[in-house]
Amino acid sequence: MSGFATLRSMRRQLTPVRIGTAALISLTLTAAATASRAQSNEIGVYSGRHYNTDKQLYSQFTRQTGIKVRLLEAKDDALIERLRSEGKNSPADVLVLVDAARLDKASDMGLFQATRSAALLRDVPLSLRDSKGRWYGLTRRVRVVLVNPRLVNPASIKTYADLANPALKGKLCLRDRQSVYNQSLVADQMIQRGDAAAATWVKAMTANVTKPYFTSDTPLIRAIGNGQCGVGLVNTYYVARMVSGESGAADKALASKLKVVFTNPAHVNISGAGVTRHAKNPAAALKLIEFLASPAGGKGYAEANHEYPLKGYGSNATLKAFGTFKASGISAEQMGAKNKAAVKLMETNGWK
């Protein structure tokens, strides 16, 4: 092989490596540039929520206060692990998590610092925040019973306990026990009715389930809509999204025929946030949380995603049409403390 050919083929060989190195260098430079860009008027947010509407709200906050928000959205559990391993090195000032149990877990792990804020005490109801001020609820979502009126009489269901009625055998469909929303619901019931009664309830209710468990809410809602299931447990915002037409005309037609039943009392879960223990800019971090919890912020944070604001029902038309509910009043902190026991109870009583 001639020297020229060797050279040419060598150049071909090395190209991917070389391009890779160049790409890596430019990536590192970009990252370094971002990292060095002013610590002062900037906060880092780790968020387990990922909705486009959230980003609009963060921009609004930046416009109002001049504080720049740098965002990392990932799975809640991964964020908790990352924050813990980063310790003092963490660039995060605010941790936003979905579900009461996770907020409680993060504060147990010492990832939050206690804060005091008159605005937050005013805007966040007692049952929706940590008693030591480590985290504050920002939005509410309700786990409701969704009924296909052609198959099940909506009036026959008044409480979660009614789902254990043997008449629903084969008609009840559930999402699996990995869902934190189901875990917190069971924790809620254990606190309200005691462990033994909750165990009996779960056992009888899961005996009604003959179809494979679902792994997400939307297919469950569709299955209820097209009559494969008669009744199920879902979060309000998934239904609201479909009813509002956000997920297409077919879903809208399907979901509009269904009846959202608020049990009395209803199980309310939250998303919430706290200032991280090693925040570099805790004052600005608290400011962001105050902004998100304020009625104005809540409009963009909760209602834009079809969630309920911290107080009242807000102005989202779809949610208003669902009607009103009475919250169980069990605090997020209590539910979080009961999470492990709830998972165990579900496991031993047949919740797949």
| Complex with other proteins: residue 56 or 156, whichever CB lies closer | 56
| Complex with other proteins: residue 46 or 294, whichever CB lies closer | 46
216 lines the binding site for other proteins (CB under 8 A): yes
Give the end-to-end CA distance of the chain in Å, rounded to a whole number.
65
Buried b (16+ CB within 10 A) or exposed e, 241-264: bbbbeebeeebeebbeebbbbbbe
State which amino acid sits at residue 56: Q
295 lines the binding site for other proteins (CB under 8 A): no
171 lines the binding site for other proteins (CB under 8 A): no
The nearest distance, CB 182 to other proteins, in angstroms, is 12
User: Pick from 239, 224, 160, 253: which is nearest to 198 by CA?
Assistant: 160
| Complex with other proteins: residue 193 or 280, whichever CB lies closer | 280
Q: Which of 94, 105, 139, 208 binds other proteins (CB under 8 A)?
A: 105
Q: Which of 154, 162, 213, 304 binds other proteins (CB under 8 A)?
A: 213
149 lines the binding site for other proteins (CB under 8 A): no
Q: Which of 190, 343, 345, 346 binds other proteins (CB under 8 A)?
A: 343
| Complex with other proteins: residue 28 or 41, whichever CB lies closer | 28
Give the count of beta carbons closer than 10 Å to the beta carbon of residue 311. 13
Q: Which of 4, 33, 66, 89 binds other proteins (CB under 8 A)?
A: 89
Q: Which of 192, 200, 228, 256 binds other proteins (CB under 8 A)?
A: 228
State which amino acid sits at residue 78: A
State which amino acid sits at residue 335: M
| Complex with other proteins: residue 89 or 324, whichever CB lies closer | 89
Find the part of the chain contacting other proteins (CB under 8 A) among 128-136, 163-171, 209-217, 316-324: 209-217
* Residues whose CB falls within 8 Å of the CB of residue 275, separated by 6 or more in sequence, listed in order: 93, 94, 112, 113, 115, 282, 285, 286, 289
| Complex with other proteins: residue 157 or 186, whichever CB lies closer | 186
The nearest distance, CB 2 to other proteins, in angstroms, is 11
Residues near other proteins (CB under 8 A) are: 1, 5-6, 9-10, 12-13, 16-21, 23-24, 26-28, 31-32, 34-35, 44, 50-52, 70-75, 77-78, 80-82, 84-87, 89-91, 105, 176, 178, 211-219, 222-223, 226, 228, 238, 241, 246-251, 340, 343
